[in-house]
Amino acid sequence: MPATNIEIDIPTPADGEHLLRLARGISLFEASDIETIQELWTEFASKGDESSWYHFIVSRLDGVILGFACYGQRPLTEGAYDLYWIGVGQNQQSRGIGKMLIGEVEKRVCSQGGRLLIAETAGKEAFEPTRRFYLSAGYLLEARIRDFYKLGDDLVIFTKRFS
Binding site for a copy of itself (CB under 8 A): 32-33, 36, 74-80, 115-116, 118, 142-151, 157, 159, 161, 163
Minimum CB distance to a copy of itself, residue 139 (Å):
12
Between 128 and 147, name the residue whose CB sits nearer to a copy of itself. Answer: 147
Nearest to 83 by CA among 158, 8, 163: 158
Question: Rounded to an integer, what is the distance from CA 95 to the centroid of its chain?
Answer: 16
Minimum CB distance to a copy of itself, residue 43 (Å):
14
Between 64 and 145, name the residue whose CB sits nearer to a copy of itself. Answer: 145
Between 79 and 96, name the residue whose CB sits nearer to a copy of itself. Answer: 79
For residue 120, the tally of other CB atoms under 10 A from its CB is: 15
Alpha helices in 9-160 (DSSP H): 16-24, 31-51, 97-111, 128-136
Minimum CB distance to a copy of itself, residue 138 (Å):
16
Helix (H, G, I), strand (E, B) or coil at 160: strand
Minimum CB distance to a copy of itself, residue 32 (Å):
6
Nearest to 59 by CA among 30, 96, 107: 96
Between 61 and 155, name the residue whose CB sits nearer to a copy of itself. Answer: 155
Minimum CB distance to a copy of itself, residue 114 (Å):
12
- CA dist 40 and 44 (Å) reads 6
Residue 67 contacts residue 101 (beta carbons within 8 Å): yes
Between 74 and 99, name the residue whose CB sits nearer to a copy of itself. Answer: 74
Residue 37 contacts residue 56 (beta carbons within 8 Å): no
